[in-house]
Structure 1
Amino acid sequence: MAATVDLDGAEDAARTLVATAFPDPGPVPVAVSARFASEVGAENGSQLSVTVGITPVPVVVTEVVPTVPSAPGAVAVLADLDTLSRARAVTGDLTFPVDAWWVGHPAGPGAAERATALHLGTVATREAETARLTGGPLRAGLPAALRLIVPAAALLLLAGVVLHVTCDLQVRAVEVARLRGLGMSRRGIRAVLLGQHAGVLLPLLAAGAVVGALATRVVAPLLVRSDTGAAPVPATQPHWPWPAEAALLAVLLAGCMLAVAVVVTVQVRRADAAHLRVSP
């Protein structure tokens, strides 16, 4: 390569000559986050100057995106690495602009340990972040509370059913005694009472499942927030596994009917001729 350079200015001024095998790329096309565009008043086609390290780089906004994936909810700019490096190189800045890497689908569970052994700096993984966010002292209470909700609700349901059936049969003891006096067998009375209470419990459990599904889809995403209090990125995806919920409802219904059967059996045995002398 041969070239003639005309250096103007003072003779003792410091000069840096940069020769590249590519032309000046001009303003670097970038995509900016919506928060960045809102705070600086940028829009498509806006030309800005962004300092990368200590080098001012001219950029042009080509797209405004809701958020930059590597910096969710933050003021961020997304640019092509090769174009950005060339824009800095033509100004004499040859330092590499990357200070961190995102690796998708690492090979094997020991990728973080191998990266640490190669002295690549601090390594963060999704598994470690998940464990930190769910097992930390400030956040462990929520998963623990969620795990206790289902057993507590099941116990309250069974207790409520037992109390309701007991009270109902005590009130209807005279009616049961009259049915016995008319010749109806205890087995028949138990079957009628079980069917009656099953007809009441089944719609209630189904309605509870529907309300739970609606609450999960409408309310649960509003309760999940990021560390800054803003909406999480990516957005929360509600999950309501109907097969598992149907199995849980079947177990709850079976447990309730078992409790009802025990109470009905005891109360039917107690219904004797003495109740016929009780005023209705």
Structure 2
Amino acid sequence: VKMGNHSTVTEFFLVWLSQYPELQFSLSVLCIIMYVIILLGNSHLIIIIILDTHLHTSMYFFFGNLSFLDICYTSSSVPPMPIIFMSEIKSISFLGCALQMAISLALGSTECVLLAVMAYDRYAAICNPLRYPIIMNKVVYVHMAVWSWVVGYVFSLVQTVFTMVLTFCGNNVIDYLTCEILALLKLVCSDISMNVLIMTDASIVLLVIPLLSIFVSYVFILSSILRINSKAFSICSAHMTMIILFYGSALYVYETQVKVHHIVTPMLNPIIYSLRNKEVKESVKKILFKYLYLQKI
């Protein structure tokens, strides 16, 4: 369909690594294996948190949110990857591309806010232990989690709408595995100044402010490090490891155009929190013991 000098785009072709057909099968198998690990690891953590009442605290509530978010995050883009790798026609509809971009942006944005909320939770627990039950009561931490999701989805919706209404230059070939906003903007031949402004505002709200709040929280936490016990230090180090993984891999994506954070960070998060958290390991033992005991009865 022609409109002026430009074609109306109805689908996009995802051609990343299509010039290396010998890698297609290996990458497909790798994606499937890593996706299964992500599902099992994060589902395991969510189930443990739900079943053990001792873990019904703000910290583990946020852990559960993060695990659920990681499952949704990877499910929005990883399952189609083997199909794209193995199929001869590597296309996605216009609506499908918009939906994939919206979900990916929303979940990534939500994780940025959620990481900052988790840092504040650790700050309140370590630096204000006596007032912590009041500061982070159930109403407060549930609202904080809900608003993390709301903010992420609002910014995602705005960016997606303002991107998909642009005029594409008849070029519908995306050199990428998924529909990413930066990859799509490269195909646009209309003015994108408003998009740049929105992305700048989103970067300030979703990247700069959360990173600053995380930094400030951990400055206060580290200033109290001589007074905290090994359990608190272990939890904080696990959280910092995950923050470095998330922001480090996200930065690597935009520098190299290789999408690693969709798979690597969600796969490692449950491992980091499970192996470095004594309470989670004890909960696993208790639940397994109860299950085996009931089986014998």
Query: Under TM normalisation by the shorter chain, which class is it?
Result: under 0.3
Relative to its length, the structure with more helix (as a share) is: 2
TM-score, normalised on structure 1?
0.25
Give 1 or 2 for the bigger CA radius of gyration: 1
Higher strand share: 1
